[in-house]
A and B are shown apart, each in its own frame.
Chain A
Amino acid sequence: MQHWLTPSNFNKLALVVLALAATSILAACSPEHPQSTFGYGGPVARDQGDLFILIFWIAVAVFIVVEGAIIYAAIRYRRRDDKIPKQVHGNTKLEITWTVLPSIVIAAIAVPTIIGIWEQQRGAPTDMGDVLEVEAIGHRWWFEFRYPNQEVVTANEMHIPVGRPVNVQLASQDVIHSFWVPKLAGKIDMVPLNDNLLWFIAEEPGVYDGQCAEFCGIAHAHMRFRVIAHTEEGFQQWVAGMRTPPVAFESGSPEQQGQTLFATHCKTCHTDDSWRQDAYSLEIQQQDSRWATWLDDIENSRIVSAPNMTHYGDRLFLGAGIKENSRENLIKWINDPNDIKIGTSMQAHAAVYQERDDNKINLSSQEVENIADYLLGLVPGDIEQLAAPQITGGTPEERGEQLFVSIGCNACHSLDADTTIVGPSLIGIADRAGTRTSLSAEDYMRQSINDPAAFIVDGFTNSMVVPKLPASQVDDLIAYISTLK
């Protein structure tokens, strides 16, 4: 029989075929896919990818040798006649060889592995720029992001600056989730009662897709999020924005009506004003108490942990990163969240859904649109104005009135005795101010502006944000407020 397939021929052929196959596989890495582990967005993902490529090529070599030997042996020693081959029972030298050789290969993989483990799992390096601390908390089925040093809290979209290590403290409130942004770093699980760390650096601004990677229940597939990397200035701006009140809505506008509806039906679970001073710790307390309330009576609870909605209008996606945050989608979502994302807690727990047999929202379509408009209108107001705007001319009362609007006092304090937005209505404050504490009316107002926490009116919480105002402007404001009879 003709032997075109000599061992050396065969090995060459196999090598060529397999090398071609392997190259085409790697070439098809599609780093542009949203969650490709080869679309390196920073050093951690790149190190992990490089290590994979190294092991991959070693594996290709082993693959060629082993599979080649299998095919070769099978073909070369196929049965041609009835002769019984030599009865070999083994060969100790060979055995030792193929025990030692793999050991060496394994050692070659083990060394970079151990180095990688210690580099990646010891927390963010301190020599690669200021470390940004973020706490990521997994909830069924959304992500909460807290910035303890910036006192910012948001959900499902994590904003970071490029070029700085981000140290993410991973936690979970309910079941195990996993934090995974393939282009930035491999995953680490978010385990209840266990503090885990993950760090990464994003090199380029952009939006990076992330997804929960640990099975966590019915909506596991829909538990996604984004990491939005800004330039340093962009990030600082975002932080400042998150601490700024939203653009004020005109009284009677759809947004303003939506705000009222939101306050009535949604606000028990969804905080929408964490831009306020001290709102950060308040929100953490509230999430804890929501969780405890839910756990206390899972079946009947009307309260459940829910994503923070502060400046929701700036979000790119809704439903934990599964749909574009458009008005149309938002209206659909508010009407029937389960239709977009099965398993959300809204219909299971919010009274406004429980009132109807079909579990859809018990509001008119106009009301739903108003809520949507309100939420989409939640974007940071002008940050510049907040830094003590320059107002000149006119009487102190006129300057105070301008100031009242421009720094956003009217966003929370209505000028209508029957309406309460967030803070107390200020109509008639001049008469009441002197009676609240032992201070005179003017001193009381001055104290309330400079240090809102000093006295809280019954039935309200302190969530007031005031920019640092020069004393003359405080006087102007007091002069104006004193006119509100």
Chain B
Amino acid sequence: MQTTHPGVGSEPISMRFPRIFPRPKSDYGIWSWISTVDHKRIGTLYAVTSFLWFLVGGIEALIMRLQLSQADNTLVDPELFNQLFTMHGTTMVFLVVMPLSAAFFNWLVPLQIGARDVAFPRLNALSYWIFLFGSLFLNFSWFVGDAPNGGWFGYAPNSHLAFNPTHGMTYWVIGLNILGIASIAAGLNFIVTILNMRAPGMTLTKMPVFTWMTFVTSVLIVLALPVLTVALIQLQVDRLYGTHFYNTAAGGDPVLWQHVFWLFGHPEVYILILPAMGIVSEILPVFSRKPLFGYTFLVFAGVAIGFMGWFVWSHHMFTVGLGPAANSAFAISTMAIAIPTGVKIFNWIGTMWGGSVRFSTAMLFAISFIAMFTIGGLSGVMHASVPTDAQQQDTYFVVAHFHYVLFGGAIMAIFGGIYFWWPKATGYMLSEGWGKANWLLMLIGFNLQFAPQHWLGLDGMPRRVFTYAENMGWENTNMYASAGGFLMAFGVLLFLINVFYSARKRVPAGDDPWDGRTLEWSIASPPPHYNFEKIPNVEHRDDWWFTKHPELIAEYYHDEHEGELRAPSGAQFDDDVEDEHHDEHTSDHHGDDDHGHGIHLPDMSYYPFILALGLTIVGAGLMTIIPVIIIGVVILLWGLIGWSMEPVNDPVPEGASHGH
């Protein structure tokens, strides 16, 4: 079964399949990135790409804020405005928060569970390349002047051909379908990775909460994205081939679109926020120097949210006229989901309570996450109440609400995560000084932008309007909001400055700069290709922390149920005590001097790139350009066949080794 021995297994076939490019081996250069299957490099690719889209989406938002800063403004025309808010929403959801979370999944999950890579490294690369090409395809629409203009929710029949004859929504449909494939592939990969690749001893109840939330998110992705795919296929065949799913003239029902879209769309909200909750659950204990309070409840609340998230979708449709019975049921289910969310918030506070709280930039972002997310949650309960929602639905109140959840929540946590794990990923620190300025400006700017928008909504300003009349009384408030937007943008700029500044300074981070708790802090920064020279044996939650502080173990288990009381297994910990704090390459702490020789990682492969390229070209060709489809299919088949015939590892000459 060991593929280290050449000549066994399926190699003969693969050898005969013609290779146009040689299989890359180099560690550097662009080709090494294109053909990488290393989860850490893929994580970096995700992070860089989605951060660039974050800047694009932010610029879209700033243009809108400029337009709305004055009544009857004519800076952008309504068509462009519609394109801007459609692409802002689509970008931030599908090209920023989801892939930024994916960057964290990629970087951290294998490190946290003590694995050397994800379960399917090439599939992982495929996910990234599909995401990249899909996002480029979606934004290509800007350059042909036909950006999507029907809203990120694409409500039929406004997105139907009769009412939206430009190509914009076709780009949107095909682009999102391509991105959906990437997300599903990534979700499947992380489900398998988390279930199957855990280090010995890491039971589900010992898994770090971030990994847990990744797991819940992955399950949600795998189950929710197909529903979006269905909605998009229906709209696509309607638009391109004249079917009737949402053609009202033939009896197609616009409400069906909303049901299908939000059946995806609400779990999607949790897909966006659960990873952020996971990140915060990692940062808080480290900077409070205390275990996560109520781990079991926190995890269970996350699972409960993921489950209940499937039964609340119609709260996006309270004004559609589903009738009082349906509205009552969904009002109750929506309010009920606030309970596990509250449990999470209280547990996070409980984590800080009695701790030793250090205000690092990461911690400040994490605390801001709790504070801002709470506000978003409270306004969420307000529009869970159908009668008040009748006044709030489709107004700026809702805009304020979900920005408190998705910016004050998800983005704040993601920034916290960036500051937290940056030293691990790069080996050097981000400047705390710039970081705190970054945090402060973002926090103030964010609140200045979105707190007044609650008020705008209650004052009757609808969403998605490109302008408003002078006498409505909305001008000052909009001006504050716009000013806040630019302040926030300035905060993001400080982050970029920090990145360049710190990259020049290169203050070495060491392996464990924050006195971390989970396994990723037990290895070098940046981690070697193979992550763990020796797969760790996990005994506890926060295993690395208790490895460093074995004297605290008894205290931690102090009031746990008798049955769970588990004394540390002697020998291993004796070793660790000696190694504590001194060990640069902690993976050596079992005395293994193998130094990675014999650790076997998959070889690089360019087929994921080719397959993703072919898939995207086929998608582009679906806009009824037959030759493009043919070209795409040829490339796709090349990628697919090459992939299936390529062994995970090329035969290795005797004595040589991989991974270095």
The residues in A between 172 and 228 inclusive whose CB is less than 8 angstroms from any CB of B are: 174-176, 178, 180, 182, 185-189, 191-197, 209, 211-221
Tally A-B pairs: CB < 8 A.
308
Given contacts A109-B385, A175-B157, contact A36 B459 (CB under 8 A): yes
**Pair B294/A221 contact, Cβ less than 8 Å:** no
1/0 contact string of B242-271 vs chain A (CB within 8 Å): 000000110101110000000000000000
Given contacts A121-B323, A220-B465, contact A30 B353 (CB under 8 A): no
Q: Does A102 contact B (CB under 8 A)?
A: yes
In angstroms, Cα B160 to Cα A10, docked, is: 56
Q: Does B350 contact A (CB under 8 A)?
A: yes
**Pair A52/B460 contact, Cβ less than 8 Å:** no
Given contacts A52-B382, A110-B335, A186-B319, contact A121 B327 (CB under 8 A): yes
Chain A, residue nearest B382 (CB): A55
In angstroms, Cα B394 to Cα A368, docked, is: 39
Contacts of A186 in B (CB 8 A): 319, 387-393
Contacts of B379 in A (CB 8 A): 59
Given contacts A84-B552, A182-B460, A194-B254, contact A70 B391 (CB under 8 A): no
Contacts of A37 in B (CB 8 A): 391, 458-460
A-B contacts besides A79-B358, A211-B462, 18 pairs, CB < 8 Å: A29-B458, A36-B460, A52-B385, A63-B375, A81-B356, A87-B556, A102-B339, A102-B343, A121-B327, A176-B254, A189-B320, A213-B462, A214-B394, A216-B158, A218-B78, A220-B464, A221-B464, A342-B77
Q: Looking at the complex, which one of A34, A48, A185, A216 makes contact with B460 (CB distance below 8 Å)?
A: A34
Binds A, one of B9-17, B116-124, B161-169, B606-614: B161-169
- Could you name 10 residue pairs across A and B whose Cβ atoms are closer than 8 Å? A48-B387, A73-B353, A79-B358, A84-B356, A85-B354, A86-B555, A99-B339, A106-B381, A196-B320, A218-B78
Contacts of B555 in A (CB 8 A): 86-87
In angstroms, Cα B288 to Cα A94, docked, is: 19
Q: Does A120 contact B (CB under 8 A)?
A: yes
Contacts of A80 in B (CB 8 A): 356
Contacts of B374 in A (CB 8 A): 62-63, 66-67, 70
**Pair A77/B385 contact, Cβ less than 8 Å:** no
Q: Does A460 contact B (CB under 8 A)?
A: no
**Pair B394/A178 contact, Cβ less than 8 Å:** yes
The residues in B between 334 and 353 inclusive whose CB is less than 8 angstroms from any CB of A are: 335-336, 338-339, 342-343, 345-347, 349-350, 352-353
B428 CB to nearest chain A CB (Å): 23
**Pair B393/A175 contact, Cβ less than 8 Å:** no
In angstroms, Cα B255 to Cα A16, docked, is: 47
Q: Which 10 A-B pairs have the closest CB atoms?
A: A186-B390, A35-B460, A221-B465, A116-B387, A196-B321, A33-B473, A90-B294, A73-B352, A175-B158, A59-B378
Given contacts A33-B472, A117-B327, A187-B393, contact A103 B462 (CB under 8 A): no
**Pair B390/A188 contact, Cβ less than 8 Å:** yes
Q: Does B212 contact A (CB under 8 A)?
A: no
In angstroms, Cα B541 to Cα A350, docked, is: 73
Instruction: Specify which of A30, A52, A174, A197 lies most central, judged by the most chain B CB atoms within 10 Å of its CB.
Output: A52
**Pair A110/B346 contact, Cβ less than 8 Å:** no
The residues in B between 501 and 536 inclusive whose CB is less than 8 angstroms from any CB of A are: none
1/0 contact string of B452-463 vs chain A (CB within 8 Å): 000100111111
Contacts of A84 in B (CB 8 A): 289, 356, 549, 552
Instruction: Specify which of B291, B387, B388 lies most central, judged by the most chain A CB atoms within 10 Å of its CB.
Output: B387
**Pair A193/B385 contact, Cβ less than 8 Å:** no
Contacts of A218 in B (CB 8 A): 78-79, 82
Chain B, residue nearest A39 (CB): B460
1/0 contact string of B133-172 vs chain A (CB within 8 Å): 0000000000000000011000101101011110000000
Contacts of B295 in A (CB 8 A): 89-90
Q: Does A455 contact B (CB under 8 A)?
A: no
Chain B, residue nearest A296 (CB): B249
Contacts of B444 in A (CB 8 A): none
**Pair A88/B354 contact, Cβ less than 8 Å:** yes
Q: Looking at the complex, which one of B79, B327, B345, B389 makes contact with A66 (CB distance below 8 Å)?
A: B345
Contacts of A49 in B (CB 8 A): 391
**Pair B458/A73 contact, Cβ less than 8 Å:** no
Given contacts A77-B288, A87-B552, A175-B163, contact A114 B251 (CB under 8 A): no
In angstroms, Cα B394 to Cα A182, docked, is: 12
**Pair B331/A110 contact, Cβ less than 8 Å:** yes
In angstroms, Cα B165 to Cα A343, docked, is: 13
Q: Does A417 contact B (CB under 8 A)?
A: no
Q: Does B469 contact A (CB under 8 A)?
A: yes
**Pair A114/B328 contact, Cβ less than 8 Å:** yes
1/0 contact string of A354-375 vs chain B (CB within 8 Å): 0000000000000000000000
Q: Looking at the complex, which one of A35, A47, A88 makes contact with B461 (CB distance below 8 Å)?
A: A35
The residues in B between 397 and 443 inclusive whose CB is less than 8 angstroms from any CB of A are: none
In angstroms, Cα B320 to Cα A188, docked, is: 6
1/0 contact string of A111-141 vs chain B (CB within 8 Å): 0111011101110000000000000000010
Given contacts A192-B254, A193-B253, contact A120 B385 (CB under 8 A): no
Contacts of A117 in B (CB 8 A): 324, 327-328, 331, 386-387
Q: Does A333 contact B (CB under 8 A)?
A: no
The residues in B between 526 and 560 inclusive whose CB is less than 8 angstroms from any CB of A are: 549, 552, 555-557, 559-560
B32 CB to nearest chain A CB (Å): 42
Q: Does B649 contact A (CB under 8 A)?
A: no
**Pair B391/A52 contact, Cβ less than 8 Å:** yes
Contacts of B336 in A (CB 8 A): 106
Interface residues on B, range: 35 or more
The residues in A between 64 and 108 inclusive whose CB is less than 8 angstroms from any CB of B are: 66-67, 69-70, 73-74, 77-81, 83-91, 94-95, 98-99, 102-103, 106
Contacts of B162 in A (CB 8 A): 174, 295, 298
Chain A, residue nearest B161 (CB): A298
Contacts of B394 in A (CB 8 A): 178, 187, 213-215
Contacts of A211 in B (CB 8 A): 460, 462
Q: Does A5 contact B (CB under 8 A)?
A: no
Given contacts A73-B352, A74-B352, A220-B464, contact A192 B290 (CB under 8 A): no
B82 CB to nearest chain A CB (Å): 7
Q: Does A51 contact B (CB under 8 A)?
A: yes
Q: Looking at the complex, which one of A47, A87, A90, A175 makes contact with B387 (CB distance below 8 Å)?
A: A47
Chain A, residue nearest B370 (CB): A70
In angstroms, Cα B359 to Cα A110, docked, is: 39
**Pair A33/B460 contact, Cβ less than 8 Å:** yes
A359 CB to nearest chain B CB (Å): 15
A331 CB to nearest chain B CB (Å): 20
Q: Does B490 contact A (CB under 8 A)?
A: no
Given contacts A175-B158, A215-B155, contact A66 B349 (CB under 8 A): yes
Contacts of B288 in A (CB 8 A): 77, 85
Contacts of B385 in A (CB 8 A): 51-52, 55, 109, 112-113, 116
A106 CB to nearest chain B CB (Å): 5
Contacts of B387 in A (CB 8 A): 47-48, 51, 113, 116-117, 120, 186
**Pair A98/B346 contact, Cβ less than 8 Å:** yes
**Pair B354/A77 contact, Cβ less than 8 Å:** yes
Q: Looking at the complex, which one of B321, B455, B560 makes contact with A191 (CB distance below 8 Å)?
A: B321
In angstroms, Cα B324 to Cα A25, docked, is: 32
The residues in A between 1 and 59 inclusive whose CB is less than 8 angstroms from any CB of B are: 25, 28-30, 32-38, 45, 47-49, 51-52, 55-56, 59
In angstroms, Cα B472 to Cα A117, docked, is: 29
Q: Does A322 contact B (CB under 8 A)?
A: yes
Contacts of B157 in A (CB 8 A): 174-176, 192
**Pair B294/A95 contact, Cβ less than 8 Å:** yes
Contacts of A35 in B (CB 8 A): 459-461, 472
**Pair A106/B155 contact, Cβ less than 8 Å:** no
Given contacts A63-B374, A178-B394, contact A102 B338 (CB under 8 A): yes
